[in-house]
């Protein structure tokens, strides 16, 4: 396994350095350095998604990334275009990094600098601080609980923070229990280098609100950034897509815009492969499948599964929402597993307690006729992933009529909401500008004669994106 090979080589290198320079000398040098820059404060600033931009020449999975490598120039470009931290690979064999890069970059930028290496020994902590690192990477997969707590403690004694990286539920729980304040979820399995784009969605509920969540790996496009922003990450660690870009500055700005300025777009009520592909091509973030039998948009679970399977590689860019009305929790969870749903949307009389029985993130639709209905929000806000504000209708589902956007704006100013009800290409830009919702949801507004209209889907999404 690649991770085992990297750690084994790191141990050989460390033994050589320990013979050349005793621990006491490295400790003394570490303590002479100026106080570390506050990485935790930087990642909490401005209530937005930050980018930790990585200086990396190569990777085990992709080989050489930057033949004409200028680490200091690269760091300066990152700092000038919105990065909040700089990550520096110092591992020399598999990533072609070097310890010398770190102090040179630290002197060239005013941002906190992360030492990214395979750290398992206290010597390496003092070493990183002696190079000027403000924070360092600790990987749960190569540390037991005793090592993790011990290294965190040494880092704290030096005024440093740590990015503690996890790859699964057990590692996230260990990171939280150890007291890590900055937790990274790496969607790439370091043992196989396989990507799991949905991992952040699965692990997000395990991370307390007082910790900073960093998404790592597989972040290449605005769609990737919007997907991660869905799950309230505070930062994204990005390397390869910046290093290999022909326009590094532009790529960094695009990722920041995708994470911070984009409205999430859901196209609901899809039942044909053509409509699904249109939603993907047009740039939708989510699409909805209706499991409410009386609706003309109803899709049987087996057919829904077939539609999801047509996504192919696009499955990493768009997420699938299943809409249910007053169904039993066991049925909903079973369909979610059978179809491969990412999110469940509840449109009936489901109570807050019921919502907590669902084994997926929950969107709860609330029908807003006036200020009195806004009282319901308090009951649901702490137990569901997102609230959807819709117009009351005689039946269940969309009414095609707009509701009180001013009321919606007041609610959206206090928490993220999805706006629905009467949206269409002609009015969605106005709705987004007035309400500032986290997301918008449309069904009948992109239909002609109750059939999804490709032109209207494209037009709807274009109108939303033009407001950003």
- By DSSP bridging, strand 113-116 and strand 63-64 are unpaired
Tell me the C-alpha distance between 223 and 229, whole Å. 10
110 is catalytic: no
Q: Is 203 exposed, middle or buried (0-12, 13-18, 19+ CB in 10 A)?
A: buried
268 is catalytic: yes
Q: Which two tokens stand for residue 451?
A: 């059939």
| List of residues 6+ apart from 436 with CB closer than 8 A | 409, 412, 413
Q: What is the pLDDT of residue 367?
A: 84
Strand partners, 212: 182
Tell me the C-alpha distance between 342 and 198, whole Å. 8
| Cβ atoms 73, 108 nearer than 8 A | no
| pLDDT tens for the chain, residues 1 to 468 | 788 999 999 999 999 999 999 999 999 999 999 999 999 999 999 989 999 999 999 988 888 998 889 999 999 999 999 999 999 999 999 999 999 999 999 999 999 999 999 999 999 999 999 999 999 999 999 999 999 999 999 999 999 999 999 999 999 999 999 999 999 999 987 777 778 888 999 999 999 999 999 999 989 999 899 999 999 999 999 999 999 999 999 999 999 999 998 899 999 999 999 999 999 999 999 999 999 999 999 999 999 999 999 999 888 889 999 999 999 999 999 999 999 999 999 999 999 999 999 999 999 999 876 666 667 788 898 899 999 998 765 555 555 556 678 888 988 988 899 999 999 999 999 999 999 999 999 999 999 999 999 999 999 999 999 987
Give the side-chain half-sphere CA count within 13 A for 421. 23
Strand partners, 298: 290
| List of residues 6+ apart from 15 with CB closer than 8 A | none
E-assigned strand segments in 356-462 = 362-367, 386-390, 417-419, 439-442, 447-448, 451-452
Q: What is the pLDDT of residue 401?
A: 59
Out of 189, 224, 390, 441, the active site residue is 390
The CA radius of gyration of the chain, in Å to the nearest whole number, is 24
Among candidate residues 167, 193, 187, 189, the one with its CA nearest the CA of residue 63: 193
Out of 115, 140, 162, 268, the active site residue is 268
What domains can you pick out in the chain, each with its CATH number?
Answer: 2-260 (3.20.20.70), 264-466 (3.20.20.70)
């Amino acid at each position: 396994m690649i991770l085992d090979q990297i750690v084994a080589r790191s141990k050989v290198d460390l033994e050589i350095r320990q013979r050349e320079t005793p621990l006491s000398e490295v400790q003394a040098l570490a303590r002479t350095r100026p106080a570390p820059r506050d990485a935790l404060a930087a990642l909490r600033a401005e209530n937005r998604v930050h980018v930790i931009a990585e200086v990396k020449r190569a990777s085990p999975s992709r080989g050489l990334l930057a033949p004409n490598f200028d680490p200091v120039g690269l760091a300066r470009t990152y700092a000038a275009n919105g990065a909040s931290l700089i990550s520096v690979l110092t591992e020399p064999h598999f990533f072609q990094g070097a310890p010398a890069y770190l102090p040179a970059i630290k002197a060239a930028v005013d941002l906190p600098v992360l030492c990214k290496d395979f750290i398992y020994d206290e010597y390496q902590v003092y070493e990183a601080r002696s190079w000027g690192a403000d924070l360092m990477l600790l990987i749960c997969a190569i540390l037991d609980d005793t090592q993790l707590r011990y290294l965190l403690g040494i880092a704290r004694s030096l005024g440093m923070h740590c990015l503690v990286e996890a790859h699964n539920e057990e590692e996230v729980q260990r990171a939280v229990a150890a007291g890590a304040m900055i937790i990274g979820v790496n969607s790439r399995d370091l043992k196989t280098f396989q990507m799991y784009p949905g991992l952040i969605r699965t692990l997000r509920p395990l991370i307390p609100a007082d910790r900073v969540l960093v998404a790592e790996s597989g972040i290449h496009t605005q769609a990737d950034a919007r997907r991660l922003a869905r799950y309230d990450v505070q930062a994204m660690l990005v390397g390869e897509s910046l290093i290999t870009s022909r326009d590094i500055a532009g790529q960094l700005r695009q990722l920041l815009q995708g994470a911070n300025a984009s409205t999430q777009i859901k196209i609901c009520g899809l039942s044909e492969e053509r409509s699904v592909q249109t939603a993907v091509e047009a740039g939708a973030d989510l699409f909805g499948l209706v499991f409410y039998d009386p609706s003309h948009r109803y899709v049987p679970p087996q057919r829904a599964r077939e539609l999801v399977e047509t996504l192919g590689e696009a499955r990493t860019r768009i997420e699938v929402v299943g809409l249910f009305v007053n169904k039993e929790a066991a049925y909903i969870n079973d369909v979610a597993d059978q179809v491969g749903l990412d999110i469940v949307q509840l449109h009936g009389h489901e109570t807050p307690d019921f919502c907590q029985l669902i084994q997926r993130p929950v969107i709860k639709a609330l029908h807003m006729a006036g200020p009195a209905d806004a009282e319901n929000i308090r009951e649901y806000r702490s137990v569901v992933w997102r609230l959807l504000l819709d117009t009351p209708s005689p039946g269940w589902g969309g009414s095609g009529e707009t509701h009180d956007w001013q009321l919606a704006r007041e609610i959206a100013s206090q928490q993220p909401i999805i706006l629905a009800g009467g949206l269409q290409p002609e009015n969605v830009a106005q709705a987004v500008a007035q309400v500032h919702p986290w997301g918008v949801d449309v069904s009948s507004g992109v239909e002609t004669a109750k059939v999804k209209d490709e032109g209207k889907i494209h037009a709807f999404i274009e109108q939303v994106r033009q407001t950003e």
